[in-house]
Each structure stands twice: as structure tokens, then as C-alpha cells.
Chain A
Amino acid sequence: MLSTQTIGSRSRRFDAPEKALGRERFASDEYPESMLWAGALRAGVPHGLLRGVDTTQARAIPGVVAVLTAEDVPGENRQGFIHWDMPVLCGTKVRHAGDAVALVVAETRQILAEALLAIVLDIEPLPVVDGLDAALAPDAPLVHDLETGNVLKQASLRKGNAQAALARCPVVIEETFFTPQQAHCFLETENGTAYMAEDGTLHMTVSTQAPFRDRFEIGRALGLPPDRLHITAPFLGGGFGGKDGSTVQCLLALAAMHAGGRPVKMWWSREESMLAGYKRHAARMHFRLGAEADGTLTALICDLDYDSGAYAHLGVEIMALGLEHSSGPYRVEYLEANGRCIYTNNPVAGAFRGFGVAQVCFAFEGMMDRLAVRLGMDPLELRLKNAIRQGDKNGVGVVMTGSTGMAECLVGLQDHQFWRSRDEWVQSAPPLTRRGVGISAVYNGMGYGRGLADAAVAKIRLTGDGRFRVYNSVSDMGQGNSPTFVQIVCEVLNQNESQMELVQPDTERSHPSGSSSAGRTTYTYGKALIQACEAMRDKLLHRAAMVLMADEASALSLVPGAVRHTSSGRELPLAVLAGMLHPEDRVCIGEAMMPVTHDMPDGGESFRLGFPHLIFPYAAHLARVEVDELTGLVTVCDYVAFTDGGRVLNPQNFEQQVQGAVAQGLGYALWEDCVAENGQLRTTDFSTYVIPGSGDLPDIESHAVETEEESGPFGMKGIGEVGMNGPLPAVASALLRMGLPMIRAPFTPERVLKVLCGGNS
């Protein structure tokens, strides 16, 4: 079962055995000889004027190699790759408690810790902007000196006159929803090693989702030419968006520039990761939805506020996706979506699986459930009635020309025994327990969207000993894109897995292929790789024709390890063929670019980057949920997911992505909340910030709805993100059906108890 590597087969991941044996080397496993340790001093104050940094005592400690402040930062001292507003080291103002104000390079970790403690900061505290209301108050202190106050970006999207349409609707419902800041909690915290070579090239091995883009971010921040930055990205110990953009990179590069050519290692502790790492944006979402009496959706007006924390990072793009997805995977004729992305002194928000969409899914699905209650309709019927289908226009007016399996996912759920037997299950609740079955229908645009070329360049080499080496250039943070690339090569070149070698991204060996994000890695790089493999196949057959004395390459075929003359059965081993070819001739490159839509909605002119999308994966989820009436404790007993990600290349990998995303989504629904009080994070580790453990989750049933996406490699789309969006609304849907209208996630026992007692969540 596990030896086949053909497309569509359930095969073991290429990377799994080494990882299971503990032999795989992550960035954090590098301890170069004679290395130094680097560490940042964090402000500890959420908002303040930096009057001074006294490094005298720290510098005097034996074993301290360098103590650096903003004055030592060459270049622009600004991180970010769209909005450059985050200093590498703060010089004048502190905007959140995790801001780095000094950087120490030391011989050992002990000396590093001692030196960080010896630095004296003089910070004059400023009033703290601790959330959306504080940021929007008329006399709010300014986090950045913007003319727009603390509003980083305000934008609107419109389709028709939604105000007038809503006024005509016989049924209008209204609600405000709240979602928390969520932490990625990848198990391998942010880290890397770096050294400056004598020729001025900075070599870096880092746990990153975007090694190619990092060169530009580091280069700009520190005034280094990007071509003098060499970055390798081994397998990541998780990412989920939190390693998209500079984490350790700029600080580490700066440290290496002051280390006299010695290698430097920086590895954030869990506490530092919680404090200074990126988070999912907390959001407040006010929705008004209008429908006909038969449940046909007509008009939606929504106002979305995203808390960007202290810096912009990808906040504007994340808000844009929230606006784009605000009407759900449904046909809604009239839309008015208004968004604001707002600065506060909270931890910096950034990319996270479900990129702005996970938030709005809670809101629009909450509206669907409330509408179903109002109309006395079956909630699944209501969703199915309005589900977007191929050829329809979505909420922002993009025609769905690609595979659109929303209805198919819902039909899958409708036929499932957990849905059919929902009433019996609810009625069989034990004493003092309420039961509910909830559903959700969600989607997530894949790829970068318009305005940012979503391209990949794949490279494959026939090695001297007749094997094939795949040069992955899109980081594998665990999602399994790179083992799927091996599978693609096996399929197109008709080879066995034993013939394969896999190289992880390296800016000197592989070619720029975008970041590992937006659910686009297998789609985009996979398409490019198919092209490279086809070129390789043609090349090998043509070259072998001479040796096998065939008149035409079509008389030959590739078989595992050899080229065969089909009619005579004579074979030329690939190892022999490789020896006949010049090394430069044993390489094939392919490239691909994702298609974009030409349907442009009204509004949104201020964020044309990454918006709108053309291709969407879809999912319908079901949760069987129990609530303990005495404690408010919510337990998810069973979970089912139907997912349309186009054709499935490897069912095992597909299920992994769905189950993992659902687990993360259930964490979002029930436990996870970065609590900051007056700008100070109170959830600093795994005992105060709770992610699900093995005992907290049910088995997760995953079903594939394989609609063929004609534009994709072998018909696939991408499922990296969509699974994240379903659990929160599905659990909320179950709770609503037990009479518990939750508007604020996560659904902690305290909040559920409040609602059980008749209060508001």
C-alpha cells in the first residue's frame, strides 16, 4: 500500500521516516562550531518614549561580544515587506511590550542572559491603547503619528446599493461578533543561525516561510544588497503564517554583522515567541443581513475592525480578505463591506492560516444560523439554497469560473448519519447536559490574489548516479508540499520513490517561487514542477534515442531507473545516460503562474494587493457538541469535515491537513485567547495559553469532495487554510441550537455559563 507514489494514491510521506527517527535537522538543530548566542532585550512596557539605553554594565561582562542598539542598525531600520513600520531595534518610541530595544551577542547562553539583565532602559510610559475602543476614542493617544489617528487603513467594498436593498428586505437580522487574538504555537519557536563570510556574504539558516522574500526584507532593513544574503530554509517545525515575514531574521543578521565572522544562533524561548511573535488579528464584526421570506439572501452590510497591534505587518491585506469573504460562500446580490485595520499597543498581528477569513466565517455563519431560526428553516437547507455554484458571482462580483464544490460539500453532510440522526442524538442527552449538532459552510481564496504575481519556478536534476533531485523552493512547514513534489516527479517520470532526492529551499540552489502561504504551494510549484518533469522526460528520451538506436523518441519510454525501447525491451539505465550528459544539461526548469480574475469589484482601491481571488476551496463541517449545564464546559464529541480542494493528490496528506486545521480551529473556538491587560500579555506560555492536547479532541472524520479544478496540477486546488475556518462557526451553530447564542470566541466555560444564566457572552 505504501510503496506506490502515483498521484491519487495513499502513500507515506517522503519526509516521514527521517522525522520519526528524530534525524531530520531543523534550523534549531544547527549548532555551528565556535558559535555565539544572540538575544534581544524586549521593552517590557507597552507604550512609551525611549529616553535611553544604558549598555555600559552589559558591555563590561566577560564573554559579551556586542551590545547593539538602534544606533548600530544600518539601513532603514524598518521591517515589513509591504508596510515598513516596524523597527529592528526601537530608537525613540516603544509601541508594544515585545518591542526589541537592544541586541546582545555573547559566548554562551548564560552570559547572554546575564548581559540582557544588565542593560538599563529609560522609558517614559505613555497612556496605553489597549484595544479597538481605546484606539478609536476621539482623544486616543497615537501609536503612530498618523493623520488618520490609529486607523492604519479604512476601506469599503460595494456591490450595488446595499443600504437601499436592505431597507426593502422583509427579514433583516443584526449581530456583532468578536474573535480573539490567536497564537500560532508552532512547536519549533522562531530561530536561526547566521554568519558573515569574508567576502561579505551573509549566510543564514532560518525557520522561515519565505526565504526568497526574506532577502529583500533583511536587505532593506539593514542596508545589505539582497544578492549578498544567502538563506536556507530546512523543514520548519510548524509555521501556520507565523514565520511569514521577519521574526529572528533582521536581528540575527545584525548580530552576525557584529560577530567577527563567527556563527551566531538566535532562538526565541516560548515566552519570547508569545510576546514578540505575530498573532491572528482580534476582530469585531457588526453584520446586518437581509433576506426574502423564503430564505434567499439579498443584502449584507458589515463593518469589520481588525486589531493590528503595534505594527501593520500584513494587516491591510488580512482585512482585505476579511472584506472579500464577508458574505460567505453564498450568492448575495448586494454588499457593503467596510473595514478598518487599527493600531493598538497589543502584540503585533500578522498572517495566520485563514488570513482574515477565519474571523468573518464566525460572523456570516452566525448570521445564517440566526436567519434559519428566524425563518424556522432547516439550517442546512438554508445554506444549500444560497450556496454559490459554478458560474455564479460571489459576494464581491467575481464569477466563479473554477471548481465550486460548496453545494457538494453540504450535500455530503446532509447524507451523513450524524446529520440525519441529529434529533435522536440531541434528545438522548444525559441529565444536566445539553446537546447540539452544528454545521458550517466555509471557503477561503487560495493564492495571492491579484496584484502580486503568484509564480513559481521549479527545478529538477538528473544526478550523476541516475537519480532525480527535486529543488523545492517553497518552504515546507509541515503541510507536506515537498513530499507531494516527490510524488509528482514519480508520477510524471514513472520512477520509484527510491530514485528521488529532495532539497529544501536554498536561495543559491533553488529558484524564487513565492512564500509558503495562501494555500498555494502545491498548486503553483506543482504546476511548474510538472512542466520541468515533462521537459526532463522529453530530454531523456531524445538523448537515449541515439544510444538505443531508435528513430523517434516516441519509440522509447521511461521505466523506473531506465529508458526502455518499448518494442524490443532494451533498456538504458539512467545512471549510464546521466554519465553521457553534461551536468548543466541534466537540469530542467519549469515555471507557472496562477490565473487571476478580471472581475474587479467597486471599492477597495486602497488595497489592490492580493485581492480579489479567483479560485476557492470549500468545506462543510459538522460538530456534535455537549455542554455541561453546571460548569459551562463545552465538549466536541464528534467532528466531520467535507472538503472541496479539487482533486486529491494523496489522501493521507489531505486528511492530515484537514484534521490539523480542524484541531487548530477547535482551539480557536474553545480555548485559545491571547489575553493582554493594559497592553501586557497575560498568556505567556502553554500553561496560560491553552492549545488542544490529545485528550481534548475527538477523532476527526474527513471526506474529500473531488471537484476537478481544471487550472490546477492534476486537478487540485489547495486546502492549507479552509479547514481552519469551519470549527468556530460549527461549534457556535451547535451552541445556538441549544439556546446559547455565543457572540464572543473562545467559548470558555465562564462565557457559556453566563449565557446559560441568561447573560451575554
Chain B
Amino acid sequence: MIISFVLDGEEQTLDVDGGLRAVDVLREYCGVTAPKEGCGTGECGACAVLVDGETRLSCLMLAAQMNGCIVTTAQGLGTDGPHPVQEALADLGGVQCGYCTPGIAVTAAEFLERNPDPTRKEIRDALSGNLCRCTGYHKIVDAVEDAAKRLQKEHGRGE
């Protein structure tokens, strides 16, 4: 089937089997490898992307379900450059092997939209679907906390 969607700001029209997994279509057919596969069963969160602004696991989504949607991966996150959560993850040590990071970045970015001033507990709850085997999460939570402050500052300037 022919599917059209906006991927990281660019129009995509593909003729693919609609039953393929979204994660494979994004990575293999579109060449966007930010969504990673860690389990294929929706348990690790490494393949998380935003679909029309909501966090979705691309390993549990079919290609057909992207039709007509706006899909954002970690590569397209942020407006003029990296999203503050990506900057904070890099600056504060939330990145080690980096394989879980793109999924964490999109999950955290969407979470901060919904909850701009979260507690550490709320951050931990929000990231509970994203496994990380390297960091122990401490610095990831630090980074999301810091990103919230960066975003508040940005919004403060905009007003």
C-alpha cells in the first residue's frame, strides 16, 4: 500500500507492505535510525517515537498506522536545533552507550509538554517504560529535571 506521513518535518510517500512494523519502515526504508530496537515486544522503549505528538512504540505499530500522521524521532526533535532535553541528557551525563537515549529523549520531551514542572518521582514514573542498562537512571532523571528548568526559562523569555 501507499502510505504518506511527515517524518521529522519531511513528507514521505512510500509503497510498502502496510503490515510491516513501523520501526523497520523508519529505519530500513526511510533511513532514520534514531528509533532503536531493543526487544521488539514493547518492553524496552528504545524504539519510541512521537506520532501526532504522542509517544508510541514503533515496534508495536504497523506501517499503515503511520499513514497521514506526523512522526517525530529523536533526529527531528527540537525546533531550531536539539531539544533542551537532548542537550540536558548530553550535558549532565544521561548518555552512556546511547542506545536507549533517542527513545528516552522523545518520551521525556512529550512528558515535559504535559508536565512542565515535575518531581523526580514523576520523572521516574514517566520513564518507567524506557529501559536503560548503563546509567542506573540517576543522571537521566537529573537531565529531565534540568530540561524542565531550561524549558521554563525559554517559555519565560517568550512571554
Contact = CB atoms under 8 A, between A and B. Distances in A.
A269 B40 contact: yes
B58 interface: no
Nearest to B102: A22
Could you say which of B38, B41, B74, B129 has the most chain A C-beta atoms within 10 Å of its C-beta? Answer: B38
B99 A187 contact: yes
Interface in B30-89: 31, 33-41, 43-44, 46, 73-75, 77, 82, 86-87, 89
Contacts of B96: 478-480, 656, 660
Contacts of A697: 136-138
Interface string A658-676: 0111111000000000000
The contact size tier of chain A is 35 or more
Given A269-B40, A656-B139, A695-B125, A25 B98 contact: no
A12 B139 CA distance: 12
A748 B36 CA distance: 31
Interface string B93-124: 11111111110010000000000000010011
B14 to A, nearest CB: 15
A240 B44 CA distance: 18
Which 5 A-B residue pairs are closest in the complex by CB-CB distance? A478-B97, A22-B34, A19-B98, A237-B99, A663-B136
A534 B119 CA distance: 48
A477 interface: yes
A326 interface: no
Nearest to A653: B93
B148 interface: no
Given A238-B99, A686-B131, A20 B93 contact: no
B136 A685 contact: no
Interface string B121-159: 001110111111111111111000000000000000000
Contacts of A392: none
A21 B97 contact: no
The contact size tier of chain B is 35 or more
Contacts of A238: 97, 99, 133-134
Contacts of A258: none
B90 A237 contact: no
B91 interface: yes
Nearest to B82: A21
Contact of B82 (A17, A236, A480, A685): A17
A187 B40 CA distance: 11
A2 B105 CA distance: 20
Contacts of B101: 19-20, 22
Contacts of B105: 20, 22
A656 B43 contact: no
A691 B133 contact: yes
13 contacts: A16-B90, A17-B86, A19-B98, A22-B101, A185-B133, A188-B38, A238-B97, A238-B134, A270-B40, A478-B99, A661-B136, A687-B41, A700-B136
A269 B23 CA distance: 14
Given A17-B82, A20-B82, 20 more contacts: A16-B98, A19-B90, A20-B87, A20-B95, A21-B102, A22-B101, A185-B131, A187-B133, A237-B99, A238-B134, A270-B39, A478-B97, A478-B134, A480-B96, A652-B139, A686-B43, A693-B128, A693-B130, A694-B137, A697-B137
Contacts of A239: 97
How would you classify the secondary structure of chain B's contact residues: helix, strand, loop or mixed? Answer: loop
A693 B133 CA distance: 9
A95 to B, nearest CB: 27
B124 A12 contact: no
B135 to A, nearest CB: 5
Contacts of B131: 185, 187, 686, 691, 693
Contact of B36 (A15, A16, A237): A237
A29 interface: yes
Contacts of B132: 187, 694
B136 to A, nearest CB: 3
A483 to B, nearest CB: 10
A22 B75 contact: yes
A187 B135 contact: no
Contacts of B44: 187, 686
Contact of B135 (A20, A109, A659): A659
B99 A23 contact: no
B93 A686 contact: no
Nearest to A658: B136
A660 B137 CA distance: 8
A226 to B, nearest CB: 28
A659 B139 contact: yes
Could you say which of A478, A662, A691 has the most chain B C-beta atoms within 10 Å of its C-beta? Answer: A478
A13 interface: yes
Contact of B139 (A21, A184, A480, A655): A655
Interface string A241-285: 000000000000000000000000000011000000000000000
Interface in A511-562: none
A185 B100 CA distance: 12
Could you say which of B24, B82, B93 has the most chain A C-beta atoms within 10 Å of its C-beta? Answer: B93
Contacts of B93: 12-13, 16, 652-653, 655-656
Contacts of B134: 238, 478, 656, 660
Nearest to A30: B33
Nearest to B142: A699
A685 B43 contact: yes
Contacts of A700: 136, 138
Contacts of B140: 694
Interface in A700-750: 700
A655 B123 CA distance: 20
Contacts of A653: 93
B62 to A, nearest CB: 14
A113 to B, nearest CB: 13
Nearest to A666: B136
A723 to B, nearest CB: 9
A189 interface: yes
B11 interface: no
Contacts of B73: 22
B21 to A, nearest CB: 10
B15 interface: no
A23 B32 CA distance: 9
Could you say which of B43, B46, B75, B128 has the most chain A C-beta atoms within 10 Å of its C-beta? Answer: B43
A380 to B, nearest CB: 24
Nearest to B41: A685
Given A19-B90, A22-B102, A187-B44, A13 B95 contact: yes
Nearest to A31: B28
A660 B95 CA distance: 11
A270 B74 CA distance: 23
A660 B105 CA distance: 19
A63 B133 CA distance: 37
A24 B96 CA distance: 12
Could you say which of A238, A655, A694, A695 has the most chain B C-beta atoms within 10 Å of its C-beta? Answer: A694
A660 B86 contact: no
Contacts of B87: 17, 20
Contact of A694 (B40, B92, B102, B124): B124
